[in-house]
Amino acid sequence: MSDPAPLTGEPLALDLVNTRPATGDLLTTTDSLRAWWILEADRLAEGMPGEVGADDLAAVLAVREHIARALDHVRRGERPPAQDIEALNRTQRAAPAISEVVWDGSAVAVARRREGSPGVRLAAGLAQAAAELLADPAVTGIRKCEADDCVMLFLPTNPRRRWCSTARCGNRMRVARHYQRRKAG
C-alpha cells in the first residue's frame, strides 16, 4: 500500500486500528497523533486536541493494541482476551464521562465531557468506541481488505465491498488485473 494517509470513515475504533497499515505505523510521534486526532475531531467528544505528550501517545497506542486483539477474536465469533477487555474498561474508568448541566445562553443543555489529560480523555473515548463496536452484532461482518498488500479492516455497508477503499486499493487492484489480462493475451 503506497498511501500513507490514514483511512477514515469507518467506525472510530476501526479507524484507530487502521493507523497501522502494511507500510508502517502512522502514530509514531505526538505530532502524528495530533494530526490523526484533528482528522477525527468531529467524531470525538474530546474535540480538537491541545498539547499532546508522550504519555498521551502511549495511552492511545495501548488502546489501539487492545482493540486490535479484541477485534481479531470477536469478528470471528470468538471470546476476546479478558486482559484486553479489562484494559479497555480500565481506560474508560480513568476518564469517566460526565453529563454536565450548562447554560448555552438561552436554555439549559447537557454537555458530555471527560476529566484528565488530553490523551487520557482521548484514550477513554476510543475505548468507549471500541466497547460499542465490540458489542455491535455487526462486528462479525468486519472484513480485511482483499488487496494483497493491505491489512486495513472495514465494516462493509455493501455486501459486495472487497477493499478498504476504492481509491486506495480497489482501483489499484483493478488496474493490476487489467495489466495481467493484457500481458497474458
Tell me, yes or no, whether 164 lies in a domain.
no
pTM (two decimals) = 0.84
Nearest Cα to 71, choosing from 31, 19, 13?
13
Give the pLDDT mean for 106-114.
Answer: 89
CATH code: domain of residue 21: 1.10.3300.10
Higher pLDDT, 47 or 118: 118
Tell me, yes or no, whether 94 lies in a domain.
yes
Q: What is the pLDDT of residues 112-164, one digit of tens each?
A: 888 888 888 999 999 999 999 999 999 999 999 988 888 889 998 888 888 88
Tell me, yes or no, whether 172 lies in a domain.
no
Tell me, yes or no, whether 34 lies in a domain.
yes
Task: Give the pLDDT confidence score for residue 162 in this predicted structure.
Answer: 85
Give the pLDDT mean for 87-103.
Answer: 93
Looking at the structure of the chain, the number of domains it has is 1
Task: Give the pLDDT confidence score for residue 166 in this predicted structure.
Answer: 76
Q: Which amino acid is at 70?
A: A
Task: Give the pLDDT confidence score for residue 143 in this predicted structure.
Answer: 92
Tell me, yes or no, whether 162 lies in a domain.
no
Give the pLDDT mean for 83-104.
Answer: 93
| Domain around 32 | 12-144+151-156
If one counts every other C-beta atom within 10 angstroms of the C-beta of residue 147, the result is 20
The pairing of strands 97-103 and 143-144 is unpaired
Tell me, yes or no, whether 126 lies in a domain.
yes
Tell me, yes or no, whether 17 lies in a domain.
yes
Task: Give the pLDDT confidence score for residue 67 in this predicted structure.
Answer: 98
What b/e sequence results for 69-86 when a residue is b if at least 16 CB atoms lie within 10 Å of its CB, and e otherwise?
A: bbbbebbeeeebeeebbe
Determine the Cα–Cα distance for residues 86 and 93; give it in Å rounded to an integer: 10
Q: What is the mean pLDDT of the chain?
A: 88
Q: What is the pLDDT of residues 52-90, one digit of tens each?
A: 899 999 999 999 999 999 999 999 999 999 999 999 999
Tell me, yes or no, whether 185 lies in a domain.
no
